[in-house]
Amino acid sequence: MGTLNPFGEAVSDEVVADWLNQFEPEERDVAEQLLVHFRFYGFAQISAALRELHAKILAATRDLASSTWYVPVGYVAKSGSLIAYFYKIQNEVTQESFILISDLKNISSDRASTIVFLDDYIGTGHQAAQVWNAFRSLNPRLAEEATVIFAAIVAMRRGVEYLSQMTGFRVIVVDVIEESDLPLAAQSSIFPADGDRARARTILEKYGARLRPKGPLGYGNSQGLLGFIYSTPNNTLPIFWSTESGWKPLLPHKESYRDPSSLFGPPAGLPKEAAMESPDKPLAESAALSGYEIAPEIASKIFTEFRRTDIFLVLAPVVRSLDIPEGAFSQLLRLIGELKHLVHEKEGVSSALLVVPQAALEELPKLAVSAASGITLASLDEVLAIIQLVKAADGALVIRPDGTVLGTTLFPPAADDALSFLPLRYQKAANASLKTGGLLFFFTGEGRASVFHSGQRLLAYRGASWHLQPSDMKGGVRTLAKRYHVDEPALLRVFQLCFRLSDEGHGALLVVGDHQRVLGLAEPPKTAYMRWPQMNVGLTEPEAILGLMRQDGATIIGADGTVLQGMTPLRPPVDAPGAVEVGRGTKHATAAKISGATGSLTIAVSVDGRITVYGGGEILLKIMG
């Protein structure tokens, strides 16, 4: 595809082609023109830009004294840790030089000659102006006397001018996006002809209205053509990052795993300080990143495929413990990219790949099929042929950390775990990763995948993104059962059913506990023509209950697990408290408000796999099943 793929290894040509095919044939020339002018910052581009940024800061201040402090900001405060980490390793700046904005209140003006706020992107400049106001309120004298720099990799010209006029920042950037770089600006170099520009606007507004109604052309009508390997600004046109209405984006926004009260534990391997949303998170993440002695080449590969700081923090120690060399890791990621979407005779291929340390190979049964001597991950065609000999639920292709392909093995039976939240098809694979301490990739053949290590599911790939998984589902359910006066085994069973619905791609709305008040907000169920025996989530066969849950309307479950009603429309009070999520439909709004109007737990399962748990009108957990 050549020049039409500006993303390098981060996005395959096949994904770009699929994205283009979503447009009408007569619209694709506009989409292709946008691709040609898209600015994508991968690991190499970010590293080079941060070296140049450091040089610009040195030139502007003539000297970086030991009292210079760096304050990571990052786009919407999400990428501050990455910018700090990349800046440190590219410019050999010590961790001690980085502080949080809250620490600035304790610094006297005679101790710091330079304050450098580090960001990746300046859009309108409004968020950066808020940073200035916060800084000035914390330490007005320091803001007045110190040299205060706002440094970024790339910025809109309008944002730079806004900051220069409205704040005391000295703005230093590497790349500037001019008005002529915007597709719909009057002086656009992308669509210079009035007719072409008008047609492009019609097309972009058509898709943007569906994908991001409140900002069809990007936040603040920015018309952005910009993305980083780890995030994409809202200023960028939503056709590049939105996943709404089944759209297949090129750079999907990461879906945050949310556990606001830390009830379910941080994802396995993620330091608690880096998992919690707090002002200390950027430095906690940055320090954790610096603590992993992992080759920069492997770090860049992890970011290229998984694109998130928290996922890096989960995977980096696993990759290091297995001692996977850079060459083998690159080949492993190439194979993963193929297996996520592998099709055979028009059907997705379900397969599994298990990286096992040599010392643990004896924990697996004898190989069912052995690979010929000399077959490695570099032998892509041969590997793809061998891996299809066994389905993921039954076995896996086994490889050594150095990339040597051994052959296929069948998983040993897994002990029945009545409290497991994993659907049955994953349990033998999880058990194999536990016995071997191996890293297992499980592909379902539906553009979906899961990653297991030592029996724990670490990640799920769904909706074109990787998603973190919690480490302590049982502990979180135990806490919720006590807090909401629900029988614990019954609530465990409800969560199991939700994970199964999610895995099957079915939506559902479940309400658990405080059933009298919930029924008071319910309309008559649409089941007058049905009769069924009394059901309880802990006693009735799951299939019978799942059939009811898959239908429209809510399934109302008592605190003891009794299924009281199904297919029931709910009408919560309009003024009931309830968290509102952009892009979520009426099911989620109803779930939030019912939990706010009653003492119940409500769970919304989306057809795209998201499971959201509400209590008191707030989100208690959001996870991709």
- The DSSP call for residue 258 is B
pTM given for the model: 0.81
Which residue type is seen at 208? G
Pairing of strands 226-228, 465-468: unpaired
CA distance 384 to 252: 27
What are the backbone dihedrals phi and psi of residue 17, each rounded to the nearest 5 degrees, phi first? -65, -40
Residue whose entry in the numeric block shows the structure tokens 């696993």: 318
Condensed to tens digits (0 to 9), the pLDDT of residues 459-515 reads: 998 877 888 888 888 999 999 999 999 999 999 999 999 999 999 999 999 999 999
Instruction: Name 417's Cβ contacts closer than 8 Å, sequence gap at least 6.
Output: 427
**Residues whose CB falls within 8 Å of the CB of residue 543, separated by 6 or more in sequence, listed in order:** none
Q: How far apart are the first and last CA of the chain?
A: 34
Round to whole Å and give the CA distance between 82 and 288: 11
CA 261 to chain CA centroid, nearest Å: 19
Q: If you ran DSSP here, which 8-state letter would residue 590 be given?
A: H
Going through 439-552 in order, the beta strands assigned E by DSSP cover 439-443, 449-453, 456-462, 465-468, 508-512, 535-536
- Give the per-residue pLDDT at 275: 61
Which helix (H) or strand (E) segment holds residue 124: the answer is none
Q: What is the pLDDT of residue 66?
A: 56
Tokens of 326: 């850079």
Cβ atoms of 68 and 29 within 8 Å: the answer is no
- Distance, CA of 510 to CA of 486 (rounded, Å): 14
Q: Please provide the size of the chain in residues.
A: 625
- Successive 10-residue mean pLDDT values, the chain, 625 residues: 74 87 95 95 90 91 71 62 81 82 76 82 90 90 88 93 94 95 94 95 94 87 88 89 84 74 76 60 64 72 79 84 88 89 78 89 83 89 90 92 92 72 90 91 89 91 84 91 94 94 92 92 80 84 89 92 91 84 75 92 91 93 89
User: For 246-288, what is each residue's pLDDT tens digit?
Assistant: 788 888 876 667 888 888 877 776 666 666 655 556 666 666 6
